Amino acid sequence: MTIDIQQLTNDFLEGDQDRAWDRIAEHKILMEDSHLTYEALTKAMQRVGKLWEENEISVADEHLATTTCDYVLSRYAYTRKLTSKNTTGPRALFLCIEQEQHYLGLKMISLLFQEYGWQTKLFGANLPLEHVIDTVEEWDASVVGISVSIMSHVERLNHYVTELEGLEKTPEVIVGGRLAAQYDLSKYCSRETIVVPNLDQVRLWLEDRKGGDGHV
């Protein structure tokens, strides 16, 4: 892959949606392989995060980069004809726990599930637990994906996991996000919880499910 991550990062920071998209679209391999595309977008946003942590960019800059990356992701999904309405597939919903705002990685996971034929609902940032439970029960979701990126939120993660896995019809709970890649979150989850530190692990889980029980 020859895409220039630094230039893509600059496009995000400048809010140049069209140029950022062109950098993806001009590479045939990226248009054919979502894994490589998500990897490039993730690397660019990680650079944005590092610049923010080092006080080299403002919160406004970080927000602009996020919305620009979100645009590229949405356009990519549209171009690849990815859809959440795979009517015969199993159902998965994705959310950030309350007060969590970082949703781009979650959106990539949701799109990956769509590629594998799942019906999905992406709720994005900051969804209170009671609304999660209502939707799981009403929509009969078999998987709930949760993103957590800030260490002060991990106790809240434990509450989400406990309540969801305590439902009469228990969904499988998948936990991801920046903290899943950096820390051992097992003490905030149960033995049944699936913790995925990166998109590779999500893809492996989907492949295993595809071959294992015939859902996809």
pTM: 0.90
Nearest CA-CA partner of 33 in 104, 109, 115, 89: 115
Cβ pair 12, 47 in contact under 8 A: no
pLDDT score of 38: 95
Sign for the pseudo-dihedral over CA of 183, 95, 143, 163: positive
pLDDT score of 178: 87
Residue type, 48: V
pLDDT score of 216: 43
pLDDT in tens, 50-92: 999 899 999 999 999 999 999 999 999 999 988 777 788 899 9
pLDDT score of 88: 84
Cβ pair 174, 189 in contact under 8 A: no
DSSP 100-158: ----HHHHHHHHHHHHTT-EEEEEES---HHHHHHHHHHHT-SEEEEE---GGGHHHHH
pLDDT score of 159: 95
**What's the CA gap between 43 and 99, in Å, rounded?**
24
**What's the CA gap between 130 and 60, in Å, rounded?**
31
pLDDT score of 1: 54
pLDDT score of 213: 47
Low-confidence ranges of the chain (pLDDT < 70): 1, 211-216
